[in-house]
Chains A and B, each alone.
Chain A
Amino acid sequence: MAIDTPPKGFIGESIKRKEDDRFIRGKGNYLDDISLPGMLHMSILRSPFAHARIRSINTKPAEAVPGVVAVVTGALLEQHKLAWMPTLSGDTQAVLATDKVRYQGQEVACVIANDPYVARDAAQLIDVDYEVLKAVVDPYQALKPGAPLIRDEKKDQKDNHIYHWEAGDKAATEAAFKKADKVVSLETFYPRCHPSPLETCGIVADINPATGQATLYMTSQAPHAHRTLFALVAGLPEEKIRIISPDLGGGFGNKVPIYPGYVVATAASLLLGHPVKWIEDRSENLISTGFARDFHMQGELAVNKDGKFLGLRVKMLSDNGAFYADAQPSKFRAGLFHIVTGSYDLPAAHVETDGAYTNKAPGGVAFRCSFRVTEASYLIERLVESAAVELKMDPAEIRLKNFIQPEQFPYKSATGFEYDSGDYPRALKLALEKIGYEQLRKEQAEKRKRGELMGIGVASFTEVVGAGHGTEYDIAGLRMFDSAELRVHPTGKAILKLGVKSQGQGHETTFAQIVAEELGIPASDVEVQEGDTDNTPYGLGTYASRSTPVGGAATAMVSRKLRDKAKKIAAHLLEASEADIEFDHGKFFVKGAPSKSKTIQDVAFAAYTNLPEGMEAGLEGVTYYDPPNMTFPFGTYVVVVDIDRGTGQVKVRRMVAVDDCGVRINPMIVEGQIHGGLTEGFGIAFMELITFDEQGNCIGSNFTDYLLPTSWETPRFETFETVTPSPHHPIGAKGVGESATVGSPAAYVNAVIDAVGHLGITNIDMPVSSDKVWTALQEKGAAE
């Protein structure tokens, strides 16, 4: 009988998460749990108007409140050249408004007090005299001649246009459209939504007046990059800045930018000599921090009668809000939106994008997506659905006809990407089989005869994740590599330090498993540390599904570096030639004599006690990994919906998800990530919306208006996998955190359109709420 040994946590094992023990006991250490002696509290006064000139600010009533230590305004910051700061897209953003406010919720003044309640009370007593200006909330209106100029402080800015950017081959695309039998078009709006991690953003800034040491506890997905930016912006010496990003209660892109509150709290700590804490409330988080999407897209697909795609043409207008603060690689003005050719062999494509300023909050973050990949995936998958409807073809069939075929990889796309690997037909066929596609189509036909509305939606997404390579991809000039430092102690236990930062993805377990696989040290013996810039090697952080593709690769490579040294030590211990030593999951043995072996633990001990002549002691190393290419996860999602003609309510009956993220390190964690993404995709498709009235008032400023999916309405998911390893990743993994948010919105919406398309309804923009569906049915005389 086999002896029941505890799992080592090699790649492919669903071991339980190491980080859970503290969280289930209520012993996590989140930002707001940090309390320092002498700590003061900051509250921010925000603009009630979307666009207004500031005539004057009277801070005296606030300063008179007992307990108030200081009131900070833009004028004060200006004296220290801190009233404006650079954004991640090369623009500038006001830290505290000096001349005008440009969106509702913009930071105007801050109160520092010895108690958070007092700080909040006092902020409301600050008297700001505003001259209200006309607000522009629609990007098309913003670009019209005569529109109010939002960025009048910028010398060369004469209108509200930010950028124009193109990708692909315009002439070849025009030629393809001339040849085509038919042009299918779709105009759609991917509305503004918000990542809304359950923990809001915050900082505890602690600058020691005696030493100048700045310790900044921050909700940061990218602590190292943030340290460098703080050094550059605030002029603080980088070696004196220590950023500690503690346990994060979710991020989803919201914790990538540097927000004005961080800067003011740091400046206040510097000026006052006390630690200063600032924690956003939920409304502040929703109205002022990094939103997502807000893309107006027009797509055209050139097709032949037989359903073959010849070309793709996209025009897109991005609503960037008052400051162009998108968090994205600096060479790409609309992120990686040019992945819009998706899973299809499109010989020609051309993408034109423009960005506009409006009187809305800035900061288009990649909400659980790799820089605008979500918008791109949504557009192409909705457009393919439109093509299927117009050509009266089955949506699965038209996809199979146009997929990039497995033998075409590596595949050079018309907009310039080199896809690493894929097998799209296999994923689609598996999804169809699992959902029972043919039977469902029969059921749908019968129901349609009875006047019942049922839809089956398909989406076959391809993502591009895991930035860099560093020559092509950088954030504010910093190349997008990442790092891992591994030290094996004499007792054979290890500590792994990373430049990425978990927000709930399970890094403490997943990355320990990579070390287990490569060195044979059980995952339970590998302590993973992240988030403290003094204690971890430099890295660009966690977003755009880059932790496993880049940080995971660095972990594998540093493990192999240590294995090479360990092999030399093993040869010395076994009195054999290094060339004769073989390694298998933690054991070194002489070729052909596996009984004569030394464990990695024996070797680790010898690395400090019994070394070959001339070898340096210790078993540790660091690797900075710059990936040769991005990775391209893919999959097919199929959704079944039933629609109530009386209320317009859409009920998701089934959702089958086939994901291919290459090699799965911990399948349990991978599946958990997919569940989460499918739920956020469901929220975006049906519920979540940040919108504005004509005056620029934000509607969606709390969880009464900004609806997140609860356990009650969230569908049950059926998840499956195919595995197509990435050929260039050391362990073949591709990253998975974002696939489901990227791929699923189109599947949900396609299901709705599949249910109502025969009535002549070709599009309903997200969120597909009951009222919109009912109105669309009513217009076609099909509502009850």
Chain B
Amino acid sequence: MARPITITVNGDKHSLEVEPRLLLVHFIRERLRLTGTHIGCDTTHCGACTVLLDGVPVKSCTVLAVQADGRQVTTVESLAVGGLHPIQEGFKQEHGLQCGFCTPGMMMSSFALLQEKPDPTEDEIRWALSGNICRCTGYMNIVKSVRYAAQKMKAAAAVPVEAGARS
């Protein structure tokens, strides 16, 4: 039996009827056609389907759409506002991607990490991303990408203070 749910995805409210067994990842990909979130393993191991649910990273292949009823979902499509997000910029500048399939999930996990820890160490980055598998890069450049983003976000956050000091 289909059930009505309302999920806010990237700020837009979507009220739809779904089967209770519909996975959140299929809701995002098939019902909303936001195909940046990928499916790599179906069993919560690879992290290609990582999205934020009320700001917390979850693997959307193991969350039912009905469980997200009334909640906020954030996907890769929301990262670039105007220009690229520093995380996206970091992945490009530091060659943090090759085939690109793990990249959206990897960036969403990185986003959550940087919200919690704006200046993470290498070990903290590696631990936070250990639920996201990359088969191409060997992770070294992904770590660099996240460090790049952290630096850039720190600098951006510091700008208003500096501007104020100068005046």
Whether B84 pairs with A117 at a CB distance below 8 angstroms is no
B66 within 8 A of A: no
Give chain A interface residues in 146-205, CB to chain B under 8 Å: 196-200
With the chains together, A673 CA to B137 CA distance in Å? 7
B55 vs chain A, min Cβ distance (A): 18
Contacts of B92 in A (CB 8 A): 16-17, 20-21, 24
With the chains together, A32 CA to B43 CA distance in Å? 18
Contacts of B29 in A (CB 8 A): 32-33
With the chains together, A33 CA to B151 CA distance in Å? 34
B58 within 8 A of A: no
Closest to A199 in B: B101
Whether A282 pairs with B42 at a CB distance below 8 angstroms is yes
With the chains together, A702 CA to B46 CA distance in Å? 11
Closest to B80 in A: A25
A249 within 8 A of B: yes
Whether A249 pairs with B33 at a CB distance below 8 angstroms is no
Binary interface profile of A, 659-686, with partner B (CB < 8 Å = 1, else 0)?
0000000001101110111111000000
A536 vs chain B, min Cβ distance (A): 19
A28 within 8 A of B: yes
Whether A250 pairs with B107 at a CB distance below 8 angstroms is no
A394 within 8 A of B: no
A717 within 8 A of B: yes
Closest to A200 in B: B40
Closest to B88 in A: A24
Closest to B89 in A: A24
Whether B98 pairs with A676 at a CB distance below 8 angstroms is yes
B35 vs chain A, min Cβ distance (A): 4
Whether B43 pairs with A249 at a CB distance below 8 angstroms is no
With the chains together, A320 CA to B67 CA distance in Å? 45
A506 within 8 A of B: yes
Contacts of B45 in A (CB 8 A): 702-704
Whether B95 pairs with A17 at a CB distance below 8 angstroms is yes
Partner of B38, one of A16, A30, A504, A714: A30
B7 within 8 A of A: no
Segment among A299-307, A421-429, A483-491, A705-713 that sits at the interface with chain B: A705-713
Partner of A711, one of B19, B46, B136, B139: B139
Whether A711 pairs with B93 at a CB distance below 8 angstroms is no
Give chain B interface residues in 126-148, CB to chain A under 8 Å: 126-127, 129-143
Contacts of B139 in A (CB 8 A): 675, 679, 710-711, 714
Partner of B137, one of A24, A196, A676: A676
With the chains together, A716 CA to B144 CA distance in Å? 12
Whether B40 pairs with A26 at a CB distance below 8 angstroms is no
Whether B99 pairs with A27 at a CB distance below 8 angstroms is no
A42 vs chain B, min Cβ distance (A): 16
Q: A24-B103, A24-B107, A703-B43 are in contact. Are A714 and B98 (CB under 8 A)?
A: no
Closest to A28 in B: B100
A551 vs chain B, min Cβ distance (A): 18
Give chain B interface residues in 75-93, CB to chain A under 8 Å: 75-77, 79-80, 84, 88, 91-93
Contacts of A677 in B (CB 8 A): 138
A46 vs chain B, min Cβ distance (A): 15
Whether B126 pairs with A712 at a CB distance below 8 angstroms is yes
B117 within 8 A of A: no
Closest to B91 in A: A24
A19 vs chain B, min Cβ distance (A): 7
Whether A703 pairs with B126 at a CB distance below 8 angstroms is no
Q: A675-B141, A679-B139 are in contact. Are A504 and B130 (CB under 8 A)?
A: no
Contacts of A20 in B (CB 8 A): 91-92, 97, 100
Whether A24 pairs with B84 at a CB distance below 8 angstroms is yes
A155 vs chain B, min Cβ distance (A): 41
Whether B35 pairs with A25 at a CB distance below 8 angstroms is no
Whether A199 pairs with B99 at a CB distance below 8 angstroms is yes
Contacts of B126 in A (CB 8 A): 711-712
Give chain B interface residues in 1-37, CB to chain A under 8 Å: 19, 21-22, 29-30, 33-37
Contacts of B101 in A (CB 8 A): 28, 30, 197-199, 249-250, 504
B152 vs chain A, min Cβ distance (A): 14
Whether A712 pairs with B99 at a CB distance below 8 angstroms is no
Contacts of B95 in A (CB 8 A): 16-17, 668-669, 671-672
A503 within 8 A of B: yes
A206 within 8 A of B: no
A647 within 8 A of B: no
With the chains together, A356 CA to B26 CA distance in Å? 42
A731 within 8 A of B: no
Whether A35 pairs with B33 at a CB distance below 8 angstroms is yes
A607 within 8 A of B: no
B52 within 8 A of A: no
A129 within 8 A of B: no
Whether B91 pairs with A716 at a CB distance below 8 angstroms is no
Q: A26-B76, A505-B98 are in contact. Are A708 and B42 (CB under 8 A)?
A: no
Subset of 24 A-B contacts with CB under 8 Å: A23-B97, A26-B76, A26-B104, A30-B101, A35-B30, A117-B19, A196-B135, A197-B135, A198-B46, A250-B101, A281-B42, A505-B98, A669-B95, A672-B98, A672-B136, A673-B98, A675-B140, A675-B141, A676-B98, A702-B41, A702-B43, A708-B135, A710-B129, A711-B130
Instruction: Please give the residue numbers on chain B whose beta carbons come within 8 Å of chain A beta carbons, in ascending order.
Output: 19, 21-22, 29-30, 33-43, 45-46, 48, 75-77, 79-80, 84, 88, 91-93, 95, 97-104, 107, 125-127, 129-143
Instruction: Please give the residue numbers on chain A whose beta carbons come within 8 Å of chain B beta carbons, in ascending order.
Output: 16-17, 19-28, 30, 32-33, 35, 117, 196-200, 247-250, 252, 281-283, 503-506, 668-669, 671-673, 675-680, 702-704, 708, 710-712, 714, 716-717
The 7 closest A-B pairs by CB, nearest first: A26-B36, A504-B99, A249-B101, A23-B100, A675-B138, A703-B45, A26-B76
